[in-house]
Structure 1
Amino acid sequence: MKIRWKTACFLVVFILDIIFAKTMYLSYMDVKNSLFLPAGADEEAVDEVRRQFSGDKQIALTFDDGPHSVYTPRLLDGLRKRGVHATFFLLGENVEGKEAIVKQMDEDGHLIGNHGYSHVQMSKELVGTACQQIEQNNRKIEEITGVRPQYLRPPYGSWNEELECTTNMTVVLWNLDPLDWKSKNTKKVARYIVKHVEPGDIILLHDVYPSSVEAALEVIDTLTKQGYTFVTVDELLID
């Protein structure tokens, strides 16, 4: 009986220690996030301090093949609500008729890159043909946003040095691919990213699938709690 009583007391003390430690940690985070901020500091100042304290846990969400008439606006709404910026590599043939979505994307502060005019393997195309596709899409995006894309993601990641010299654009690939286009499973995609992500990762997703949009927002909510911040590709490369 005495042994059971001692065991019960030990468990109670152990649980109280955990609760106390968690309370102290949350209090520490509140103090840390408000450190060096004057009373009444605006939200931008608070966000900047939080970003500084997050260290180097920055990652970039990138989306290929859009825009989609339904799923891209849904994604933009979710990103806006969370205060997150992402990078979109647009297909020229999908931009046609969706100029308003691209304009909103730009106004929301996202980085817009070039994914070619159609989804072809550029390294197998003649240099002139591939560059014509890239330039056609650059002009289209610039007409909408007033900004000429500086970043290019070739479909399938297929590229060669000859094309790079001709286009004079920065080629951006990726280092974390959850194969969202293959599984089309929100939970599976989100779990894969959360499990394998590391600071500095460029994550490949596609905003033409509802499952990918839902997974992206779920990942943001989960990783934000783990101290990650989401930046555009240019911010990640500059840092």
Structure 2
Amino acid sequence: MHNRYIKYFVFLLFTADLVLSAIFLKNDHRDIEKIFSLPALSKVAGQPGYIALTFDDGPDRKCTPLLLDGLKERGVHATFFLMGSNIEGKEDIVKRMSEEGHLIGNHSYEHIQLTKAGPEAVCEAVEHTQEQIEAITGKRPEYIRPPYGDWNEELEEEIGMSPVLWSVDSLDWKLKDKGKIVRRVLKDVKDGDIILMHDIFPSSVEAALELVDILQKEGYVFVTADELLIE
């Protein structure tokens, strides 16, 4: 009886071997490699996810380079919505943003409330900034952050750009304290959030880099705003 079970087990192994051999012979070895080299999932269920850091009103001669240094050190790309009146004399900073892989968007020329300005003023405020950025980077921005988040369908048709608002407001312009800014953002942040900050205050730069350090340790991945919008 015992020998009969052994013979039966050997028969099963032999049959399985024949089946596997047939599969391997039928398929190219490259197909077999694909089975064992499937890419890892970009996001595992339960992990925190993706966040976009966005900065308005720059560039600033002192603060923006410090921010760029910190982001580069951490391997993070951010999104900068530039104000045309602040670009003049800081073209080197704008060029660096582009060369280092950050997304550059339009924030009007002088931070006007677009919905309350006439069509001519809106066109001038946006187009002037578009031309400045394109002249420096060779790329014409596709995205706009309307000052005060004030936007409507008429503007979208008139300007022909995609608006990018935000889901977490750091209130860095008001708080001007690294610890308070960090705590406010951490209280609300979640997967898919777009964080609003400004790269014109030293406390904002310090808070932004601390947020990157904390959230990267938690598993978050920082992307540019367009990557979130595409998702």
Q: TM-score range by the shorter chain?
A: 0.7 to 0.9
Within the alignment, does 1:185 sit opposite 2:173 as a pair?
Answer: no
Q: Go from structure 1 to structure 2 and tell me whether the alpha carbon gap of 1:196 and 1:76 turns closer, same or farther (over 3 Å shift).
A: same
Q: Aligned-pair distance for 1:195?
A: 1.8
RMSD (Å) for aligned C-alpha atoms = 1.7
Deviations 1:142-187 (A, max 9, x none): 0000000000011111122211101110001101002110010100
2:104 to 98, 102, 112: 112
Q: What is the count of residue pairs matched by the alignment?
A: 194
How much identity, in percent, do the aligned residues show? 58
Uncovered stretches (5+) of structure 2, i.e. residues with no partner: 1-35
Within the alignment, does 1:155 sit opposite 2:129 as a pair?
Answer: no
2:113 aligns with 121
Q: Go from structure 1 to structure 2 and tell me whether the alpha carbon gap of 1:51 and 1:97 turns closer, same or farther (over 3 Å shift).
A: farther
> CA–CA distance in 2 between the matches of 1:170 and 1:102?
21
> CA–CA distance in 1 between the matches of 2:172 and 2:48?
26
Q: Go from structure 1 to structure 2 and tell me whether the alpha carbon gap of 1:169 and 1:215 turns closer, same or farther (over 3 Å shift).
A: same
Q: Go from structure 1 to structure 2 and tell me whether the alpha carbon gap of 1:50 and 1:68 turns closer, same or farther (over 3 Å shift).
A: farther
Rg comparison, structure with higher value: 2
Secondary structure at 1:213's aligned position in 2? helix
> CA–CA distance in 2 between the matches of 1:56 and 1:139?
38
Q: Aligned-pair distance for 1:52?
A: 4.0
1:67 to 26, 39, 59: 59
Mean CA deviation greater in 128-137 or 81-90: 128-137
> CA–CA distance in 2 between the matches of 1:215 and 1:88?
16
Aligned-partner residue type, residue 83 of structure 1: G
Q: TM-score, normalised by structure 2?
A: 0.80
Secondary structure at 1:81's aligned position in 2? helix
